[in-house]
Amino acid sequence: MYEHDVIVVGGGGAGLRAAIAAHEEGADVAIVTKLHPVRSHTGAAEGGINAALRDGDSWEDHAYDTMKGADYLSDAPAVDTFAQTAPEEVIQLEHWGMPFSREDDGRVSQRPFGGLSFPRTTYAGAETGHHMLHTLYEQVVKRGIEVYDEWYVSQVAVTDEDDPNERDCHGVVAWDVQTGEIAGFRAREGVVLATGGLGQAFDHTTNAVANTGDGVAIAYRAGVPMEDMEMIQFHPTTLPSTGVLISEGVRGEGGILYNSEGERFMFEYGYATNDGELASRDVVARAELTEVNEGRGVEDEYVYLDMRHLGEERITDRLENILHLAEDFEGVNGLEEPMPVKPGQHYAMGGIEVNEHGETCIDGLYAAGECACVSLHGANRLGGNALPELIVFGARAGRHAAGADMPEPKIETGPYDDAEREELGVPVGAPDGDADAVEPAADGGEAVDADDRSPDAVVEATAEAERERIDTLLEREDGVNHADVRSDLQESMTANVNVFREEEGLKQALRDIQRARERYQDVYVADKSRTFNTDLQHTIETRNLLDVAEAITMGALARDEFRGAHWRKEHQERKDDEWLKHTMVSWNDGEPELWYRPAILEGDEQTYEPKERSY
């Protein structure tokens, strides 16, 4: 068994920032990551980091824009904390040497982004995430923080009290991808999950192959609710062939969207007559698909994003990376031709329910970054708000996990007795609702029933359960290949739970997920090697995708309104009277339970009054 004060799972922006913060609190901290930290998907972020740094801007304005962009589904204490802390975190990055783009006076540059009332997006070319990731990793190296790279965390070690609010987390279980060794990692103070996104639930996504929602799923099965999972952001500008992201920075610098008729449709067809291309992402994504659906798309699939008029000098100064991406992945020279773009899955606004200190309802278990839901982004995340979230809430989670004194949280977490609950009337959860049908090999992940409840014993019992699960998977000689289950799942999610959502499609997706679960009971791993077994790893990831896909779809079916990224054909209005509340899904022994928690609109300085979003 390995032992540290704080164990951070994931080596991307949030994980690295959490580890640095915990280390600064004096904790012995280790990062356990299934990739090497510099391979993390934070490195693919392009656009920038929002922070109110300049005269004429204020944290209050940043908070207001965030709340409005979120369509009022955020919790104000999280939004206020975020906007107040982002400036010091960005300056901290600069002090750590991050190579930001610069103004003539040597200060960091800022540019306009969608949904912002001030050009407050700091950036480093169109590769801001790459520079942020490397800058943070450099600081981890400087501090000598221990990194277990290519160790896959597949369980959290949690006690099994009936009420999740009373459970304790004592560590995680991980296996060394290179050798197959399965080991318990005991965390004396706390575990911070920073495992990133879940875009692999969809088949057209900007997300890395590694983004399989591992942290969300293992926290969920340990008893932490998933929050607002239906709120999936589709980015308006991804390359049609691969899903590679074309930064919002292109539109921020003045890039223009055209349909096949050469019309600037954001204005011509009235989608956003004030802000045009710089309306909020949900607005632009729907506009593009509407153009395509009405026959004004190119090859019935995409529209054009044009940046030629910006001039070569400005493009190479601020968007050079975009030229390379368009050339390498679409064969288009962005200086001479417009780039083809269409919406693609990009970001999960929902995730592991946490408060503003990153705490879940399970004592000692924290989460930060895209896998967590504070909730900051509500129903729609503004461009440039993801990277500051990683560092603001990553630092807070790391600090709290290391035992720092923090004020009483304003956001509550965990199930409570009189919560409003809902049944969907569509099969979800374990196939047949038959508990016996759930075979441990295919399932895995519930709190372990240990006689000896000492922290070490809980971690070791969880590790033992994981060893059995993996042995069973490897011993099966025949069955279903996970890749088939995964691709069926991805296709159904993209067909049915995309930008435009209809009741029948959502129900179909739930039936497909149920079917995928059933097939997954017979999954087997063809590769019998313990050495770098990616077949095994992907098989377990696929299990995680099933749980997150189900929660996304359940939440989407139940939410019969139109809010932010969540568009429902049958319900074309935002229903503030009924739906200013967060969708929660709790594991409940494999039968997902849907319940709600009211959104908090009372902030530090003001109560955010829902207004119509006009762009």
Partner 1 sequence: MSTQTPETETETESETEQPASSPHQERRLAEKRERAEREAAEEAADATKFDGETLELKVFRYDPEIEGKEEPRFDSFTVPKEQGMTVLDALIFARDEYDSSLTFRHSCRQAVCGSDAFFVNGQQRLGCQTQISELDTPVRVEPLPHQDVVKDLVVEMDHFYDQMETAQPFFDPDDLPEGELEEQRQSRENREKIKLSTRCIWCGACMSSCNIAAGDNKYLGPAAINKAYRFYMDEREGEQKRQERLEIIEQEHGVWRCQTQFSCTNVCPKDIPLTEHIQELKREAVKQNLKFW
Site for partner 1 in 167-186 (CB under 8 A): 178
From the candidates 17, 167, 281, 486, give the one annotated as an active-site residue. 281
User: 3-state class of 7 per DSSP?
Assistant: strand
| CA–CA separation, 605 and 610 (whole Å) | 16
Query: Residues 557, 424: contact at Cβ < 8 Å?
Result: yes
Q: Please, which of residues 437-466 interact with partner 1 by CB under 8 A?
A: 437
Of the candidates 467, 530, 571, 581, which one interacts with partner 1 according to CB under 8 A?
530
599 contact partners, CB below 8 Å, separation of at least 6: 72, 73, 74, 75, 375, 378, 580, 581, 582
Of the candidates 3, 28, 61, 94, which one interacts with partner 1 according to CB under 8 A?
94
The stretch near partner 1 (CB under 8 A) out of 128-136, 344-352, 460-468, 555-563 is 128-136
Of the candidates 61, 91, 260, 337, which one interacts with partner 1 according to CB under 8 A?
91
Of the candidates 57, 71, 127, 512, which one interacts with partner 1 according to CB under 8 A?
127
Rounded to the nearest 10 degrees, what angle do helices 534-558 and 455-475 cross at? Answer: 100
List, in sequence order, the alpha helices (H) in 144-280.
214-221, 249-252, 265-268
Q: Please, which of residues 285-344 interact with partner 1 by CB under 8 A?
A: 324-325, 328-331
| CA–CA separation, 349 and 370 (whole Å) | 7
Binding mask 473-502 for partner 1 (x = CB under 8 A): ----xxxxxxx---x---------------
Apex 227 CA angle, 490 and 204, nearest 5: 20
Query: Residues 497, 232: contact at Cβ < 8 Å?
Result: yes
The stretch near partner 1 (CB under 8 A) out of 25-33, 378-386, 515-523, 590-598 is 515-523
How many residues touch partner 1 under the rule CB under 8 A: the total is 78
Which two three-digit tokens encode residue 70? 């979120």
Q: Please, which of residues 241-270 interact with partner 1 by CB under 8 A?
A: 241-245
Active site annotation includes 281: yes
CB of 457 to partner 1, least distance (A): 31
User: What sign does the dihedral 574-576-578-580 (CA atoms) show?
Assistant: positive
Q: Please, which of residues 355-374 interact with partner 1 by CB under 8 A?
A: none
Which two three-digit tokens encode residue 607? 């109560």
For partner 1, give the closer residue by CB, 142 or 421: 142
Instruction: Count the Cβ atoms, other than its own, within 10 Å of residue 118.
Output: 18
When asked if residue 572 is in the footprint of partner 1 (CB under 8 A), the reply is no
Residue 598: enclosing H or E segment and its boundaries? strand 593-598
Residue keyed to tokens 């500051």: 388
CA–chain centroid gap for 271, Å, is: 27
CB of 191 to partner 1, least distance (A): 23
Minimal CA–CA distance to 540: which of 175, 37, 179?
Answer: 175
Minimal CA–CA distance to 562: which of 293, 231, 226, 66?
Answer: 231
Classify strands 593-598 and 232-238 as parallel, antiparallel or unpaired.
unpaired
For partner 1, give the closer residue by CB, 160 or 432: 432
Of the candidates 117, 333, 534, 614, which one interacts with partner 1 according to CB under 8 A?
534
For partner 1, give the closer residue by CB, 110 or 413: 110
CB of 478 to partner 1, least distance (A): 5
Binding mask 131-170 for partner 1 (x = CB under 8 A): x--xx--xx-xx----------------------------
Q: Please, which of residues 385-444 interact with partner 1 by CB under 8 A?
A: 432, 434, 436-437
When asked if residue 53 is in the footprint of partner 1 (CB under 8 A), the reply is yes
CB of 532 to partner 1, least distance (A): 4
User: 3-state class of 594 per DSSP?
Assistant: strand
Count of H-run helices and E-run strands, the chain: 16, 22
Q: Please, which of residues 182-211 interact with partner 1 by CB under 8 A?
A: 208-210
Binding mask 30-49 for partner 1 (x = CB under 8 A): -----xx-xxxx-xx-----
* Residues annotated catalytic, as ranges: 281
